[in-house]
Amino acid sequence: SEATPKGPFVPTKEDYQKVYDEIATKLANETDYDDGSYGPVLVRLAWHASGTYDKETGTGGSNGATMRFAPRHARDFLEPIKAKFPWITYSDLWTLAGAAAIQELGGPTIPWRPGREDKDVAACTPDGRLPDASKDQRHIRDVFGRMGFDDREMVALCGAHALGRAHTDRSGFEGPWDFSPTVFTNEFFRLLVEEKWNQRKWNGPTQFTDKTTSTLMMLPTDIALVKDRSFKQHVERYAKDSDAFFKEFSDAFVKLLELGVPFQSKPEDRFVFKTSE
């Protein structure tokens, strides 16, 4: 009998769940990196791919995967997944991996939808659109305001610093923000409010260290969140109310990952991926 000719492959939600599952399995298996997880660098990759958006010109954002200078660690982790699922675009893969990492590290559900295209390197946005950690609240408002976020969303997004750490060979800064850098929690906010943060005495860039253990760190932009009255009210709220943080973080992160993407689909078409057991 004659085989029916195959049309172009149109991936379904189940196909994207397979990509999610592959990322989740790889995260669970490769625990010899940093604090035991590649999750935080995947979150940071998704954020950096998206955080170049400019609402005035409509340029930047995750559509295009133009961030060809993706950190080596995240790229190496995702390359075998791209090889296994060659039909997914890099820009969809990077954002899906960020959503998967948040869910697998114990964070809220991050509804996600495909639709990003990879573009030529000529579509790269100019450097300098991502925030500079040595600056203050005005800079945070400039950068996130340019993306279209309000104060509440800006604070929620910064709560991602519950995950991971800074590396002297990457940013010049050093250390984790809390004691569980591979678990998504509201600890970043609790520590910001409850700890006393002193300027670290060292040769590196200005950063802050906790009085109790001197093992944690805050960036100048993190400290700016409690110096600014409007920001601080959200920091205090999230420090007390983990559910509110999870909900508002999810909403803001979904928005971040979709900035500047010309979707054919509607928000209600977003996929909710099953987290691994």
Closer to ligand DDH by CB, 17 or 134: give it.
Answer: 134
- 152 lines the binding site for ligand DDH (CB under 6 A): no
Active site includes 177? yes
Tally of CB atoms within 10 A around 21: 14
Q: Output the smallest distance, CB 144 to ligand DDH, in A.
A: 7
- 140 lines the binding site for ligand DDH (CB under 6 A): yes
Active site includes 87? no
- 165 lines the binding site for ligand DDH (CB under 6 A): yes
Tallying the residues shown for the chain, one arrives at 277
Return d(Cα 95, Cα 233) in angstroms, integer.
30
> How far is C-alpha 154 from the chain's CA centre?
13
Return d(Cα 139, Cα 266) in angstroms, integer.
33
Instruction: Please tell me the number of Cα atoms within 13 Å of 20 on its side-chain side.
Output: 26
Q: What secondary structure letter does DSSP report for 166? A: E
Contact positions with ligand DDH (CB under 6 A) in 56-95: none
Given the residues 48, 73, 161, 234, the one annotated as active site? 48
Burial per residue of 224-237, b for 16 or more beta-carbon CB atoms within 10 angstroms, e otherwise: bbbebeebbebbbb
- 47 lines the binding site for ligand DDH (CB under 6 A): yes
Q: Output the smallest distance, CB 136 to ligand DDH, in A.
A: 10
- Give the residue at shortest CB distance from ligand DDH: 164
- In 3D space, the residue among 86, 108, 127, 102 whose CA is nearest the CA of residue 42 turns out to be 102
Instruction: From 14-22, 53-61, 105-113, 157-165, give the range in contact with ligand DDH by CB under 6 A.
Output: 157-165
- In 3D space, the residue among 158, 152, 154 whose CA is nearest the CA of residue 192 turns out to be 158
Instruction: From 17-25, 117-125, 164-172, 200-208, give the range in contact with ligand DDH by CB under 6 A.
Output: 164-172
| Residue from 23, 67, 157, 261 binding ligand DDH (CB under 6 A) | 157
- 235 lines the binding site for ligand DDH (CB under 6 A): no
The residue behind tokens 């300098």 is 128
The residue behind tokens 């999610």 is 20
Contact between 144 and 223 (Cβ < 8 Å)? no
| Residue from 41, 96, 216, 235 binding ligand DDH (CB under 6 A) | 41
- Residues with catalytic function: 48, 177
> Which residues are near ligand DDH by CB under 6 A?
40-41, 43-44, 47, 131, 133, 140, 157-158, 160-161, 163-167, 170-171, 173, 219, 221, 253
